[in-house]
Amino acid sequence: MALFGTDGVRGLANDTLTAELALDLAVAAAHILAEVGAFNHENNERPRAIVGQDSRASGEFLEAAVISGLASAGVDVYRVGVLPTPAIAHLVAATGADLGVMISASHNPMPDNGIKFFAKGGGKLDDKLEAAIEARLNEPWQRPTGLGVGRVHFDETAKERYLAHLLSTLKIELKGLKIVVDCANGAASTVASEVYKRAGAEVIAISASPTGWNINENCGSTHMENLIAAVKSNGADLGIAHDGDADRCLAVDANGEVIDGDFIMAILAADWKVPTVVGTVMSNLGFIKAMGELGIKVEKTAVGDRYVLENMLANDHILGGEQSGHIIMRDFANTGDGVLTALQLMATMAKTGKSLTELAGVMQRFPQVLINVDQVDKSKLTSATKLTAAVKEHEASLGDSGRILIRASGTESLVRVMVEAQSLDTAEAIAQALASIVRSELK
């Protein structure tokens, strides 16, 4: 089984994702990137890496392991502490660093953790580089000594430089907007409330007190109930929900209705009048139809913001993202940034004078049912003949009024069954029937 998923290496911290593995990954990454020429310094300077983490307690020992691996391989390390994943990507690009490492499991539960690598320029490593790193784990190597070993520094200016970058993307103040932000007790807690206030908004922050143990616990973008209640009780104009590492943004309008990534992309695409927007195979059919009515083309990729970005770079598109709230705006960043997304969404509200409810009227969401089927062997998915036949039968019955997508999760041991239809009852019935076949055929 491949070690890297769609977004780095993830696992149960101190079980499948150990300090030893983290150290070995760091060493292998340093070796591979040096060999492909990613480390290129004049005057024989050592390569530089930026290392950050979200608020999980396990991030502390994993950070120590990653730093040890990099420094022992001759890389100078700049620690930035708890910051969002997109902050690491931005800082790598802005400083000319050779490598970035983010220790986070994003929206996953607290016991999990993960390691994401960013190449020079701030982009995520491609599949070939990740495979090369994995193939070189635990290899014998010539260790540098003396002046050859790396040094470790703490960059106290990193947070402020990231905040300045976020604010530089705004062309309008957010005065008059009252918002509630759910920081998921994660990395957003260090920056989100502060930057929204500096932008002029009135801010109420919830789940913004990380303890190391409470990240994503009944809060954030995967648990919107508290945010919805807070928006209503405070009479806020909108709510913003981030995940553990703040690369996602979901919103809630003043009525408590969830505005997901498809809606956010539709709002921005309509406002910016882009010719093309890049989505994924999970993009809602209502989003695709709405963009078509506006004359905007939708290109679809595999799930994962890295694949969205690859398409955007290859075809020079400026807007793309996922229903889950990973939104990429190439004019401002080279990865999904939840805080940046929230700022641009609120800027559209401020510029147009429209409520989020009004702006979201640009599209009508098709009812969608998503069932995560666990305790199955997802490797059997491609050879599941009964499932394939059932999918074809249901697709024929739906025609142009719905669609079906069944895929193995890239980050968890799950098979996801997604069905869209014009009625919720139809989508639910088909999804349940297909999930039942998944459970029986992939056991």
Element spanning 258, H or E: strand 258-259
Beta carbons within 8 Å of 286's beta carbon, 6+ residues apart: 262, 363, 364, 365, 366
The span from the CA of 58 to the CA of 18, in Å, is 10
The span from the CA of 96 to the CA of 102, in Å, is 17
- Give the SS3 label for residue 264: helix
Q: How far apart are the first and last CA of the chain?
A: 18
Number of other residues whose CB lies within 10 A of the CB of residue 20:
11
Residue labelled with tokens 């002046």: 147
Sign of torsion over alpha carbons 318, 320, 325, 326:
negative
Beta strand pairing call for 76-82 and 152-154: parallel
Annotation says 106 is catalytic: yes
Q: Tell me the CB-side half-sphere exposure of residue 4, using CA atoms within 13 A.
A: 22
Beta carbons within 8 Å of 117's beta carbon, 6+ residues apart: 8, 29, 99, 100, 101, 124, 125, 130, 133
* Packed helices 158-168 and 338-352: angle between N→C axes, nearest 10 degrees: 30
The span from the CA of 120 to the CA of 103, in Å, is 17
The span from the CA of 53 to the CA of 186, in Å, is 10
Beta strand pairing call for 368-374 and 414-420: antiparallel
Which residue blocks in 169-223 are alpha helix, DSSP H? 192-198
Element spanning 162, H or E: helix 158-168
Looking at 106, 189, 221, 283, which residue is catalytic? Answer: 106
As to burial, measured by CB atoms within 10 angstroms (0-12 exposed, 13-18 middle, 19+ buried), residue 144 is: middle
44 backbone φψ class: left, alpha, beta (φ>0; ψ -120 to 50): left
The DSSP secondary structure of 227-248, one letter per residue, reads HHHHHHHHT-SEEEE--TTS--
The span from the CA of 434 to the CA of 70, in Å, is 46
Identity at 241, one-letter amino acid code: A
DSSP one-letter code for 17: B
The span from the CA of 70 to the CA of 23, in Å, is 8
Looking at the annotation, which residues are catalytic?
106
